[in-house]
Amino acid sequence: EINMEGCEKIEISENCVNQGTENIRPECFELLRVLGKGGYGKVFQVRKVVGAASGKIFAMKVLKKAMIVRNAKDTAHTKAERNILEEVKHPFIVDLIYAFQTGGKLYLILEYLSGGELFMQLEREGIFMEDTACFYLAEISMALGHLHQNGIIYRDLKPENIMLNSQGHVKLTDFGLCKESIHDGTVTHTFCGTIEYMAPEILMRSGHNRAVDWWSLGALMYDMLTGAPPFTGENRKKTIDKILKCKLNLPPYLTQEARDLLKRLLKRNASSRLGAGAGDATEVQTHPFFRHINWEDLLARKVEPPFKPILVSTDDVSQFDSKFTSQTPVDSPDDSTLSESANQAFLGFTYVAPSVLENIKERFSFEPKSALLGESWAAQEPLSGTEPPASSFLHTVSAEQMDVCSSSEASAPLPIRQPAGLNQTKQQTYPSVAKRPGHLRMNL
């Protein structure tokens, strides 16, 4: 036991810790391109022009407070996204660098993911080969497992929310529908998510837990391998009816391992679904479908992705829709007329990533590097064996419970250019498939 007698006691406050850090504001960033537009604002590609990380390229999500505060659910979405992005750091989850606000707007500064959306790669290909799908599903499973370890249900897994970095690795984005502080045995009742990938227990409003994410992974896997989600109808009601009642139709060209995994993930009884047990992600990752995955190398991002974006610079926007990137980037004038009571909802929104704080302390001068944000994960001591590292990056945090539901804000469609030599490694024979159903695309 340490003898504390004679030691000077110093009170540490937030102001003391953050003393000397730069004041992050919109003027710190130069607008380069429009990447997308949503119901509540825009997403820009920006360059930081002052302070730490000057010259670095980021994505800046700008949300209008006046639009958000009209609905308590939407306010909860925004707070949940910001809180979760602060809490969760993982190689396959987008990094939040800064969060700040002005009188009328909220700003999230995120790492710039130059590979665009997996959705557009899937739309271009029609369907994926099983080895391609296996790679993406494996990386996604690790991200979901990490979220679950932190008491977070993702609840909105779909191709549009899966981004690719410059190397082609997965990054989960858009955390507005997540449920915080959900641990084993806890059930939530909010109705949320995208219908085609939604678990039956959510539709039935019978309460749900983290098992809903494994249903969604199964629906995503089915989409990748067949060209459409497992249950789709002419309208919302018919789609729901099919999810609740229809038999799962598996194409004959699927391998036995793929068929078995789909059956186990798409079980309507949530308690018997693969991943619903105590093992969570490990149950899924040890399935024979993933038998060729070296989980240690995958986590370190040493496994070569199936598709690598063709990029010529750090600010390359070729993987994004020219409908947006061709627009002149303008952040509309700030409307700071929001009432004081309305602004109370956004207290504590400001955030600076620990890595940035360290850079400031060390008088760090930014110079562009080839390594991406988060690459330092790979430099850590490797895990022993090739079993799925279920407990990797375990960091349990307490978070404010929020009752969050569906949002009217949609993701911007982000097309991907097809790399050269794409089909050289394909071995498995698949039928030719037309483009995915148009109604699955989220239009702004």
**15-113+313-375 has CATH 3.20.20.480 classification:** no
Give the model's pLDDT for residue 31: 96
Q: CA nearest 76: which of 236, 192, 217, 205?
A: 192
Burial of 132 per CB tally in 10 Å (0-12, 13-18, 19+): buried
Tokens of 84: 């979760």
- Parallel, antiparallel or unpaired: strands 41-48 and 57-64: antiparallel
| Partners of residue 68 on adjacent β-strands | none
pLDDT at 443: 32
Query: Which residues are designated catalytic?
Result: 156
pLDDT for position 42: 86
pLDDT (0 to 100) of residue 5 = 58
pLDDT tens per residue across all 444 residues of the chain: 555 555 544 343 434 333 446 788 999 999 999 998 876 678 899 999 998 889 999 999 898 887 777 766 666 667 667 777 777 899 999 988 998 888 888 898 999 999 998 988 898 899 999 999 999 999 999 999 999 998 888 888 888 889 999 999 999 987 643 333 334 455 443 444 468 988 888 887 776 688 999 999 999 999 999 999 999 998 889 999 999 999 999 999 999 999 999 999 999 999 999 999 999 999 999 999 999 999 999 999 999 999 999 999 999 999 888 888 999 998 877 766 665 666 666 666 766 777 655 544 443 333 333 333 333 333 333 333 444 544 343 333 333 333 333 333 333 332 323 333 444 443 444 454 544 554 444 333
pLDDT at 152: 86
pLDDT at residue 44 in the model: 94
User: For the structural domain made of 118-310, what CATH number should be given?
Assistant: 1.10.510.10
In whole angstroms, give the CA distance from residue 184 to residue 358. Answer: 35
The per-residue pLDDT for 90 is: 93
pLDDT confidence of residue 113: 95
Domain boundaries, the chain: 15-113+313-375, 118-310
- In this predicted structure, what is the pLDDT of residue 17? 35
- For the annotated binding site, the residues are 35-43, 61
Binding residues for ATP: 35-43, 61
How many residues are recorded in the chain?
444
| Separation of alpha carbons 372 and 169, rounded Å | 11
Q: Among 430, 398, 438, which Cα is nearest to 119's?
A: 438
Q: What is the 3-state secondary structure (H, E, C) of the chain?
A: CCCCCCCCCCCCCHHHHCCCCCCCCHHHEEEEEEEEEECCEEEEEEEECCCCCCCCEEEEEEEEHHHHCCCHHHHHHHHHHHHHHHHCCCCCECCEEEEEECCCEEEEEEECCCCCEHHHHHHHHCCCCHHHHHHHHHHHHHHHHHHHHCCCECCCCCHHHEEECCCCCEEECCCCCCECCCCCCCCECCCCCCHHHCCHHHHCCCCECCHHHHHHHHHHHHHHHHCCCCCCCCCHHHHHHHHHHCCCCCCCCCCHHHHHHHHHHCCCCHHHCCCCCCCCHHHHHCCHHHCCCCHHHHHCCCCCCCCCCCCCCCCCCCCCCHHHHCCCCCCCCCCCCCCHHHHHHHCCCCEECHHHHHHHHCCCCCCCCCCCCCHHHHHCCCCCCCCCCCCCCCCCCCCCCCCCCCCCCCCCCCCCCCCCCCCCCCCCCCCCCCCCCHHHCCCC
| Largest CA-CA distance found in the chain, in angstroms, rounded | 78
- Residue 137, C-beta contacts closer than 8 angstroms, at least 6 positions apart: 217, 220, 221, 224, 290
